[in-house]
Structure 1
Amino acid sequence: MPVASVAQKTVSLPEFGEPTVMPLVLRATYEARIAALVARGGEAGFDAFVVYGDREHAANVAYLCGYDPRFEETLLVIVPDKPPKLLVGNEGWGYAEICDGPY
């Protein structure tokens, strides 16, 4: 069905206000996510994991440890029964230090 007419309207945006709390993902949540990865990967025959992240591919690393690789590439190395290791370049050192991931 064709459009009979088109009109432009001015609408007001609702007032959302300023955020009052900072969202926080607990370290235990990251640890549980990594444990689930290790468990499911173990069922599939994997004995270690290397998760790559960069500016365009940040979701997996952020989901597992809270680090957002916004400046340069990063690797998250996960080996069962060992602490995860986050490898970042010099531009990511300061940011990695303030993230609360389990590495």
Structure 2
Amino acid sequence: MCGTDMVTIRVGPEAVPFYVHKRLLTYWSPYFRNAFDGSWMEADRGISLSDVEPWLFEVVNGWLYTQSIVLEPPAQESFDASDITTAEAGLESGETTSKEQIP
């Protein structure tokens, strides 16, 4: 079902490139079917989706190949125990270390 034609989908404001089998995109998505099989001039060079987050397109891309959705938990930054103690103390006192306050 995949075929051999690959297309480039550039995603997000940073234009992260994804290389995807054209046949999969056009089989499962009317949007991409119209783009690649229609008269979209830019489809010859690939398609840009600047308003889509790369992580989200990565989920869609994975689904195209597996028909299942796998959501990876975000990577957690390392921290030491004092960070938890400081956060708990701030919560108990009603203080926040956030730069933005909720009105």
How high is the TM-score relative to the length of structure 2? Answer: 0.18
Give the number of the structure whose residues are more often helix, by fraction.
Answer: 2
